[in-house]
Amino acid sequence: MMYRRDGLIFAQIKDPLWADPKIAKILPTDENGSWGSFISLKGTEWEKYIDVVPLDVLDRAYRGDCTALMKLSLRDPRGALKKAPIPKVCSDSKSCVSYKPTLCIVSAKVVPECFSIYSEIPPPVRTLITAWNEGYFILKEP
């Protein structure tokens, strides 16, 4: 299944060898090229969190053969969340009665639906964090 949301094309690829990986590719635009709506992240510390993948490798993956894609050593979504330079704790932690220090953090294995990201984080970064929380590798064309 493939769908589009927040400037990304989301897909879960059926490849049992690689446990059906989930990828989110930045949707290119005419004015911003391969960066699309994430152009504000170009040249920033966030650029290193987005893997550049050749089109032929992406095409192969979309057809169900993820071997070439997975051998590129993509940045793991959980690892990206742990390394991302953002506050890790839910922004509602001080007022939430259900807050748990091991559960209400951005890199938890299962993040509660009520989890709130700090409002000062720019929208493109919020989109990346949401995709990583959902287990998607973030990619872009060269």
101 belongs to a structural domain: no
Residue 12's domain comprises 2-86+121-140
Chain centroid, CA 77 distance in Å: 6
**Which pTM does this prediction carry?**
0.89
The whole-number pLDDT of residue 80 equals: 93
94 belongs to a structural domain: no
Q: Given the DSSP bridges, would you call strands 2-5 and 8-12 parallel, antiparallel or unpaired?
A: antiparallel
Q: Does position 88 have pLDDT exceeding 90, yes or no?
A: no
21 belongs to a structural domain: yes
51 belongs to a structural domain: yes
115 belongs to a structural domain: no
Q: Count how many domains the chain has.
A: 1
69 belongs to a structural domain: yes
Q: Strand locations in the chain, DSSP E? A: 2-5, 8-12, 22-26, 51-52, 137-140
pLDDT single digits (tens) 12-61 = 999 989 999 999 999 999 999 999 999 999 999 999 999 999 999 999 99
102 belongs to a structural domain: no
CB atoms < 10 A from the CB of 58, how many?
A: 18
31 belongs to a structural domain: yes
